[in-house]
């Protein structure tokens, strides 16, 4: 079994990104990421702190804009619009989920598609499904980067993605399709799920149920990508796959933590750096 160590790969890419940021700074551009967090969701607080730490580590400018849980939609939209106009800001990320008084779709549609580091805007989603260049959701990009780094070719493979979220399942399906995989998206209404997951050469679990998948769900020799991030009562984090139960029968698997999560942040940085390169060209 090959361990697909996302943290090791993230550390390696972090060194390369530090050099890329240095080079941009020499050209007069400091890549800048703005993370907007509304309310005090403790899990979101951990993620946003990790993002800030990484940005600082590679020398990027990073702003954490904290807004109260009572923020109105109009107030949030005004803040987003101001960052859209700010020429020193390369990437804008609004941490999800948002409080119930705010319509997420409207917020996402307000972010300038050229600054949409999450790749959530309809413009970027459309480009992704048309296999055109654009900004792409970071977790799916992280999955593709892990596979590429381990020379796991997806072309012609049967890829089964369990989960149809806008953040993970759908954009990952598009990336896999663009890479010539045969893609099936399964979800809570899928019938005979186990029959399907057992056909997967590459199984992606993105459901959010701790240890939903075990030995009986996985084909021997399959590659397993675990995007699950489930916090247990004792505070530890675990995936959607029972790692212990499947490790002896898979050819490769991502752990949780230290798998896809750290690569999500790496791709966020990569995408912000790419946008900043455009700022150099425009002068």
Residue 50 interacts with ligand GUE (CB under 6 A)? yes
Rounded CA-CA distance 129/141 in Å is 14
59 annotated ligand binder: no
Cα angle value 14/178/184 (rounded, 5°): 105
Please report how close the Cβ of residue 261 comes to ligand GUE at its closest, in angstroms: 2
Residues near 199 by beta carbon (within 8 Å), at least 6 away in sequence: 158, 160, 219
Please report how close the Cβ of residue 79 comes to ligand GUE at its closest, in angstroms: 15
189 annotated ligand binder: no
Residues near 128 by beta carbon (within 8 Å), at least 6 away in sequence: 119, 134, 136, 171, 174, 175, 178
165 annotated ligand binder: yes
Please indicate whether residue 248 is annotated as part of the active site. no
3-state secondary structure of 243: helix
Residue 99 interacts with ligand GUE (CB under 6 A)? no
Please indicate whether residue 112 is annotated as part of the active site. no
Given the complex with ligand GUE, which of 97 and 220 has the nearer CB atom?
Answer: 97
Residue 166 interacts with ligand GUE (CB under 6 A)? no
Given the complex with ligand GUE, which of 198 and 258 has the nearer CB atom?
Answer: 258
Rounded CA-CA distance 41/55 in Å is 21
Please report how close the Cβ of residue 21 comes to ligand GUE at its closest, in angstroms: 20
Given the complex with ligand GUE, which of 46 and 232 has the nearer CB atom?
Answer: 46
Residue 4 interacts with ligand GUE (CB under 6 A)? no
Rounded CA-CA distance 200/162 in Å is 11
| DSSP H or E segment with residue 54 | helix 42-57
Please indicate whether residue 118 is annotated as part of the active site. yes
Contacts with ligand GUE, residue ranges (CB under 6 A)? 46-47, 50, 93-96, 118, 138, 229, 237, 256-258, 261-262, 264-265
């Amino acid at each position: 079994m090959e361990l697909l160590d996302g943290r090791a790969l993230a550390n390696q890419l972090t060194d390369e990104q530090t050099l890329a940021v240095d080079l941009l700074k020499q050209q007069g551009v400091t890549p800048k990421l703005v993370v907007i967090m509304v309310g005090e969701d403790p899990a979101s607080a951990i993620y946003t702190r990790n993002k800030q730490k990484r940005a600082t580590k590679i020398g990027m400018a990073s702003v954490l804009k904290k807004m109260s849980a009572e923020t109105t939609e109009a107030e949030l939209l005004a803040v987003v619009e101001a960052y859209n106009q700010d020429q020193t800001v390369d990437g804008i990320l609004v941490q999800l989920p948002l409080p119930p008084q705010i319509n997420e779709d409207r917020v996402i549609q307000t972010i300038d598609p050229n600054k949409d580091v999450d790749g959530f805007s309809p413009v970027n989603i459309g480009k992704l499904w048309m296999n055109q260049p654009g900004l792409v959701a970071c977790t799916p990009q992280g999955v593709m980067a892990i596979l590429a780094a381990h020379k796991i070719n997806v072309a012609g493979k049967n890829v089964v993605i369990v989960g149809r979220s806008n953040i993970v399942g759908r954009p990952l399906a598009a990336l896999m399709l663009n890479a010539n995989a045969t893609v099936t998206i399964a979800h809570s209404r899928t019938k005979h799920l186990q029959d399907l997951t057992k056909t997967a050469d590459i199984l992606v679990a993105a459901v959010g149920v701790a240890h939903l998948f075990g030995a009986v769900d996985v084909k021997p020799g399959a590659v397993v990508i675990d995007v699950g991030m489930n916090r247990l009562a004792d505070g530890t984090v675990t995936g959607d796959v029972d790692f212990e139960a499947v490790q002896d029968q898979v050819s490769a698997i991502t752990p949780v933590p230290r798998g896809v999560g750290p690569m999500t942040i790496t791709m966020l940085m990569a995408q912000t750096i790419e946008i900043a390169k455009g700022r150099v060209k425009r002068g």
